[in-house]
Amino acid sequence: MTGLGTILNTACILLGGLAGLFIFRNISTKTQQNLKTAIALVSLTIGFMMIWDGLAGSYPGQPARGWLMRVYLFIVVMLSLGAGKWLGGKIGIQRRLNLMGAWAQKKFTAATQKEDLKHPPSEGFVTCTLLFCVGPMSLLGPIQDGLTGDIEILAIKSVMDGISTMTFATTFGWSVLFSAVPVLVYQGTLTLLAVVVKQWLDAMPEAGLLIDSVTATGGFIVLCITLLLLEIRRIQLADYLPALVIAPAAVWTFLR
């Protein structure tokens, strides 16, 4: 079902917020760390699966892909990631997202230091909306859902957002629940746009190769999420997003 990932994400935000309001008032640091480790391991598995499916050929109806073509596609994907990182750095994608995220984090920190004060409803709504909509997964997940019908990335994001909303609800109150609406609209729109693009691609004989290049590229980005969650290395993850466009463009130019 197309759009299921966004529906799941919206439901987890609502459930997490309600749980934070009425059930779990506090989550221990140890529990948060264990959940983060579990999500990182799931991200690692899904990342490798996406890479394998993209290189081997997961698009329905296409013939088996030989090892030579897989190697060529792997090289194209790696070069696209490098070019995407360079372009993303020039545009400053991660830097701009960091500024928005830092603003949201500052609002949350200030709110936790003033627990006895009543916070305006807009604070929780704006803070959670920014955090849930500006990350790379909020872009990559709906695209994957619309192009392939897979919701693995959005499933990971759903769990992460649900846990975050649970924490935010204890500070900001009920206003965090309304952040589910912009998430539904934003990610749902991206999914529908990806479906339109897929319908256009389906008319091309190279459709499988183009979509698989996006899948493999997205898999490498998901692997980077694991490094961030486990705090192994700080990666400017959002700067790699242009690779999702560069990879199919390169495939169209050199491998079709």
User: What is the tens place of the pLDDT at every residue in 157-210?
Assistant: 999 899 888 878 877 778 888 889 999 999 999 999 999 988 887 777 777 888
Domain hosting residue 250, numbered range: 4-254
52 against 206, higher pLDDT: 52
Q: How many residues does the chain have?
A: 256
Band of the pLDDT at 25, cuts 50, 70, 90? low
Which of 54-58, 62-66, 125-129, 239-243 is predicted with the least confidence, judged by mean pLDDT?
Answer: 62-66
What is the predicted pLDDT for the residue at 246? 94
More confident residue, 59 or 46: 46
Cα–Cα distance measured from residue 213 to residue 55, given in angstroms and rounded to the nearest whole number: 7
Q: What is the dihedral of CA 165, 16, 192, 43, to 10 degrees?
A: 80
pLDDT tens figures, 186-197: 999 999 999 998
Residue 72 has pLDDT above 60, yes or no: yes
pLDDT > 60? residue 121 = no
Give the type of residue at 44: L
Note the pLDDT of residue 36: 76
CA-to-CA distance for 56 and 63, rounded, in angstroms?
10
| Mean pLDDT, range 138-167, rounded to an integer | 89
Closest by CA position to 46, among listed 34, 56, 54: 54
- Report for 25-34, 221-230, 242-251: range of highest mean pLDDT: 242-251
pTM: 0.79
What is the count of structural domains for the chain?
Answer: 1
Q: In the prediction, which pLDDT does 205 show?
A: 74
